[in-house]
Chains A and B, each alone.
Chain A
């Protein structure tokens, strides 16, 4: 009799990890420099209950802002993906692999702490990271996977 309820709770338990705080990304990503062609260095704030969670949050925020928002002040001020909702709908697996499953690390050339891991509010702490991204390689990968169109028509 309780089986449908149990199965519902099981499905809910499967979904819960995707709702944790490390999945929330903020716009606290600021341009630092582009000293080498095809790369960008940004500072990114990350939030989480543990330090690894907060670092992961900062790194993924840097990537999400570069891909879906653009980084003002840099030559990547236009996002790589013009329509986030459409791209996420059509290429859900790609973005899951890239952001949630850690593929983004293969495009990350540097990840350094800029501040200590310290309390941000009652529930979580934050950290400021310096992240360097190989934008050319990321764009090429997205082109090869058909997530964005190659340059041209």
Chain B
């Protein structure tokens, strides 16, 4: 009787310990970065002409988009955005590469993936080299890079070679991007902050403030310590008129799981300044935050 009981208890213990380690499936985050696959163009090149006349590039861009689709991730269509810009406006632009920047800005893409496809002709056969690079649209940080080559064939069917080249790299490319996403979720997104003073302001960074009579720059450091993700921020420099934080980390989601954008961080800082009796204005460009104290 005792034997059965102790065995039963032993098995029950195993079951409890085993099940306690299980974690329920994680809930899917609703807020995702927007991604746009764009063709690579050199400075002063006409992007529209290149895309319309280079079938290999179009195949490469489409195959890359397909790679994202296969992972259940929709991308912003570059050609649709290109069409949205009026012909007149595109023609007016002197520097064609700025058109790309404009499209990226108009699309609101957080990440853009630059794609290049280059035919390589040799005596032992033809192949295609594809180069893809993913960039954070705001900080310019490179998220993933891959170069892929198709096998060599005695063929002029470069479209098929392009497909093979992209097929050979897209999974590895997406997996590298995912590693970067995981790192971002773990360590927060990168932003920068500049705090300056308006012309009429009677304050500067050395002004003493509060009961402890700390310098304003020190008060700001204390606040940043408490309000950056994992208390991470790096001060590039501080002068009497300016405090530059070239890198700080912000969470992607707040405590309720809602998206936490740099604008929320700026609003939070402005509220704090208001409590100190200081009026300020803010300007947020992507992940660059500018605060001016009036």
Residues of A within 8 A of B18 (CB): 92-93
Q: Which among A75, A91, A144, A149 is the interface contact of B169 at CB below 8 angstroms?
A: A75
Question: How many positions in chain B have a CB within 8 Å of any CB in the partner chain?
Answer: 42
Is A38 positioned at the interface, with any CB of B under 8 Å from its CB? yes
* In the complex, chain B residues whose CB is within 8 Å of the CB of A37: 167
Q: Which residue of A lies closest to B26 (CB)?
A: A146
- The DSSP consensus for interface residues of chain B is helix
Q: Are A78 and B176 in contact (CB under 8 A)?
A: yes
Chain B contacts for A91, CB-based, 8 A: 22-23
Please tell me the size bucket of the interface on A.
20 to 34
* A85 contacts partner chain B, Cβ-Cβ < 8 Å: no
Nearest-neighbour CB distance to chain B for A140, whole angstroms, equals 8
How far does the alpha carbon of A34 sit from the alpha carbon of B68 in the complex, in Å?
19
Residue of B nearest to A11 (CB): B10
- Residues of chain B within 8 A of A10, CB atoms compared: 7, 10
- Report if A153-B72 is in contact (Cβ < 8 Å); known contacts: A93-B18, A146-B26: no
Binds B, one of A1-9, A22-30, A51-59, A120-128: A1-9
> Which residues 73-92 in B have Cβ within 8 Å of A in the complex?
73
Let me know if A149 and B71 touch, CB within 8 A. Answer: no
Residues of B within 8 A of A (CB): 2-3, 6-7, 10-11, 14, 18-19, 21-26, 28-29, 31-33, 68, 70-73, 167-172, 174-179, 181-182, 184-185, 252
The 7 A-B pairs at the shortest CB distance, nearest first, are namely: A146-B25, A151-B71, A75-B171, A78-B175, A75-B172, A152-B32, A7-B6
Listed A/B pairs (24) with beta-carbon separation below 8 Å: A3-B3, A3-B6, A6-B3, A7-B6, A7-B10, A10-B10, A11-B7, A11-B10, A11-B11, A34-B167, A38-B70, A75-B169, A76-B172, A78-B172, A91-B22, A92-B21, A92-B22, A143-B72, A145-B25, A150-B72, A152-B33, A152-B73, A153-B29, A153-B185
Report A's interface with B, CB cutoff 8 A.
Answer: 3-4, 6-7, 10-11, 14, 34, 37-38, 75-78, 82, 89-93, 135-136, 143-146, 149-153
